[in-house]
Structure 1
Amino acid sequence: MTVNKEIGMRRHIRLAAAAAALSAVLATGAAAQQFTMKFGTATPKGDQNFWMEEFKKAVEARAGGRIAIKLFPASQLGAIPRQIEGLQLGTVEAWIGPTSFLTGVESRYQVMDAPGLFADWDHAQRTVTHESFRDEFLNLGEKKGVIGIGIYTSNPMSVVSRKIPIRKVEDFRGQKFRVLGSALEVEQMRALGAAGVPMPLVETLPALQRGGIDGVRSGIVVFVPFKYWTISRQLTEIGDAYIVPVAFVSVRWWKTLPQDLRQIMLEEARKLDDAAYKYARKQHQLFRGLWTKNGGELIDFPEAERKKLLELSRDVGAKVAARNAGVKAAYDKLVAAAGATRQ
């Protein structure tokens, strides 16, 4: 064999080996299919944002590069109704927020707005994560195109009013309050002599500034990041109910994922039930300090007034639930879980 032939043969062998290696890389890349998860929420910062950020870190670390989770806080994917429509259509893969906003999709989600079910914040958390309630509740919307993968309690309900500060139950009378979105919340406002006006978060502050509404029922986790103290300096924590966010995913998108990737997500989401709750508790204290630091007044609703409020709205949950058999079944499940976890 001549020197030139030997050199040519060696070159051919090297090229063949390189081609084989490239084919193996391409085959591996094809097998490790890439998925994208656009994850939205309405808040610019807070416990919902913490949930998304921690979920992204944990899932991407375990998924080995198979999924890219892209976060869109502060309604960057559109107002809440548009994001929920995206979930159903599969154009938005995930969203986290209070279940009240999905009552137009699945009416049973509104049971979480029932007042007076929980003795305190800890009791609310034990209830919504209880084995007799959690998974069944998260799956209520599956036939409507959405399912939940995580749940926790965020904040006690609070109110701000630009018209009359809420220091007693009578102060609610005659005022229009923005509520999250459920018929149950509207009914409760009616029981207190007020009007409940469902409204997306991005529309709420401008409506309050214009006088289209007199006040807002939500949590301090919303009032501080959006600087509500510029409109109303008085914030009253009434604690008749708790904001309960759920991390929802699109069923259309979820079904395209391999089983092991779904399992990773479910496991990491369950871990965040407790982690997000603990984060919310700590941040609640921070936000209380920021409210007063910026000139706001925190009104602790007197216990006598809170009892009066709960007495007036005691039957609201059962009354609204009785209108629909499915809602009643979900409400009864929640009441039973609250009873099982009461200490």
Structure 2
Amino acid sequence: MTSTLRKFALTSASIAASFGFASIASAQIDMKIGYPTTADPQHDYAVKFVAEVNKRTNGKIKGRVFPTSQLGKIPRQIESIQLGSQEGFFAPPGFLQGVNKAFQVADVPGLFADHQHAHRSLNDPSFKPLFSALGENKGITISGVWIYDGASYMATKPIGKIADFRGLKIRVLATEIERLSVATLGATGVPIPFTEVVPSIQRKVVDGARTSLVVAGKAKFPTVTNNLTITNGYYIPCISAFSKVWLSKLSKEHRAIVLDTADELSNWASARSESFVSKMIAEWKKSGAKVAYFSDAEQKDYMSRLKPLGDKVFSNHKNADIRRLYPILKAAAVRQDVR
């Protein structure tokens, strides 16, 4: 090969390589965010998060939202996060108990006075970093913790006082503290997957459920229950869970943008969710449901029944992370109570 041809070949190869590297560098990064709800504060948070990440990365990270479990049922999405085939999953941390049972600590009943007290407590600097690290050794990074709603009861029969719980079968999550939370009221807790609650009420397998009035309203609960009792005995948190496999492939700058954005938007999400509750109460009433609250005396009795359950279940739990985190959260709740 002549010297001229050799120079031409080297130059051509260099140009081709440059174009190849430029193409890789400029390629958009896919970020799929899945979650089980839709048309609710969690959906609003996901949409806002995706838009903000796109803006902060100048379009380098292209986020897409997949509501109503479009990416699969909750266990499958959690597994996909661990494997790296899904980038983000937004949901209550209780769904990650299969990863670490200590995620249920945030669901402790009777500890928080109101929505923002719960939000401040879970974001207390003594608690939040430890709680967020619970999935790290299982391939999950948590960033962004906020309050979705307080728990309410939806039932086929009116619940206006604690005595009305006696003999009822109430759908709960499959945890000891969930079952005890209704047992202390005289009801029986029945663990049922959320998507099966409405047909279970129709078939009279259960008389009602304990969950967020927001998510229940969006899930057609008012079609089978015409009694809503707002108790707020515990508050339902949400987290932003990301795949460590995916995060490890990002540049340091992009990784920080993803995690910081999720965290920074948590205050907005909690406030947005709190304001959303009033709208949903109006929708429940519009559907014909009777909306009830306990009297002050009944509410005091209700909270006094719930408050000891955290100590009973968590203080001597076999999970070391639960034993470690629970007293920290209790202390944070005391500090963050500004009443």
Fold match, TM over 0.5? yes
**Rounded Cα–Cα distance in structure 2 between residues aligned with 1:176 and 1:82:** 29
Specify the code of the residue in structure 2 equivalent to 1:174. G
SS at structure 2 position matched to 1:211: coil
* Moved beyond 4 Å, runs of 4+: 17-25
2:211 paired residue number:
218
Write the deviation string for residues 141-188 of structure 1: whole angstroms up to 9, x where unpaired.
Answer: 1112222111111111101012x2221112222222222343321222
Aligned pair in 2 of structure 1 residues 89, 170: CA closer, same or farther (>3 Å)? farther
2:242 counterpart of 1:249: yes
- Once the 2 structures are TM-superposed, how far is the Cα of residue 139 of structure 1 from its aligned partner? 1.3
**Rounded Cα–Cα distance in structure 1 between residues aligned with 2:52 and 2:12:** 35
1:91 paired residue number:
85
**Rounded Cα–Cα distance in structure 2 between residues aligned with 1:101 and 1:196:** 18
- Once the 2 structures are TM-superposed, how far is the Cα of residue 237 of structure 1 from its aligned partner? 0.7
- Once the 2 structures are TM-superposed, how far is the Cα of residue 217 of structure 1 from its aligned partner? 0.8
Q: Is the 8 A contact 2:233 2:306 kept in 1?
A: no
Aligned pair in 2 of structure 1 residues 147, 179: CA closer, same or farther (>3 Å)? farther
SS at structure 1 position matched to 2:241: strand
- Once the 2 structures are TM-superposed, how far is the Cα of residue 267 of structure 1 from its aligned partner? 1.7
- Once the 2 structures are TM-superposed, how far is the Cα of residue 20 of structure 1 from its aligned partner? 8.2
- Once the 2 structures are TM-superposed, how far is the Cα of residue 133 of structure 1 from its aligned partner? 1.6
Q: Is the 8 A contact 1:318 1:328 kept in 2?
A: no
2:312 counterpart of 1:314: no
Tell me which of 116, 119, 135 is aligned to 2:113.
Answer: 119
Tell me which of 146, 149, 153 is aligned to 1:159.
Answer: 153
Specify the code of the residue in structure 2 equivalent to 1:81. P
Tell me which of 100, 104, 107 is aligned to 1:110.
Answer: 104
**Rounded Cα–Cα distance in structure 1 between residues aligned with 2:43 and 2:329:** 26
Tell me which of 53, 71, 91 is aligned to 2:65.
Answer: 71
Specify the code of the residue in structure 2 equivalent to 1:49. H
- Once the 2 structures are TM-superposed, how far is the Cα of residue 280 of structure 1 from its aligned partner? 0.6
2:329 counterpart of 1:334: yes
Fraction of identical pairs, as percent: 35
SS at structure 1 position matched to 2:265: helix
1:144 paired residue number:
138
Aligned pair in 2 of structure 1 residues 108, 51: CA closer, same or farther (>3 Å)? same
Structure with bigger gyration radius: 1
Tell me which of 25, 34, 45 is aligned to 2:39.
Answer: 45
1:261 paired residue number:
254
Q: Is the 8 A contact 2:227 2:291 kept in 1?
A: yes
**Rounded Cα–Cα distance in structure 1 between residues aligned with 2:89 and 2:254:** 18
TM-score by length of 2: 0.90
- Once the 2 structures are TM-superposed, how far is the Cα of residue 240 of structure 1 from its aligned partner? 0.6
RMSD, matched Cα: 2.2
Write the deviation string for residues 280-300 of structure 1: whole angstroms up to 9, x where unpaired.
Answer: 122111111111112111111
**Rounded Cα–Cα distance in structure 2 between residues aligned with 1:234 and 1:329:** 39
Q: How does 1:231-250 map to 2 (within 5 A)?
A: 231-250=224-243
- Once the 2 structures are TM-superposed, how far is the Cα of residue 112 of structure 1 from its aligned partner? 1.4
Aligned pair in 2 of structure 1 residues 196, 93: CA closer, same or farther (>3 Å)? farther
2:5 paired residue number:
none
Tell me which of 45, 56, 60 is aligned to 1:62.
Answer: 56
The count of corresponding residues between Structure 1 and Structure 2 is 328
Write the deviation string for residues 51-83 of structure 1: whole angstroms up to 9, x where unpaired.
Answer: 110110000112233322121101112222222
Q: Is the 8 A contact 1:38 1:94 kept in 2?
A: yes
In structure 2, list runs of 5 or more residues that go unmatched.
Answer: 1-7
**Rounded Cα–Cα distance in structure 2 between residues aligned with 1:284 and 1:21:** 59
Q: Is the 8 A contact 1:114 1:317 kept in 2?
A: yes
In structure 1, list runs of 5 or more residues that go unmatched.
Answer: 1-12
- Once the 2 structures are TM-superposed, how far is the Cα of residue 199 of structure 1 from its aligned partner? 3.1
Aligned pair in 2 of structure 1 residues 134, 211: CA closer, same or farther (>3 Å)? same
Q: Is the 8 A contact 1:103 1:181 kept in 2?
A: no
SS at structure 1 position matched to 2:249: coil
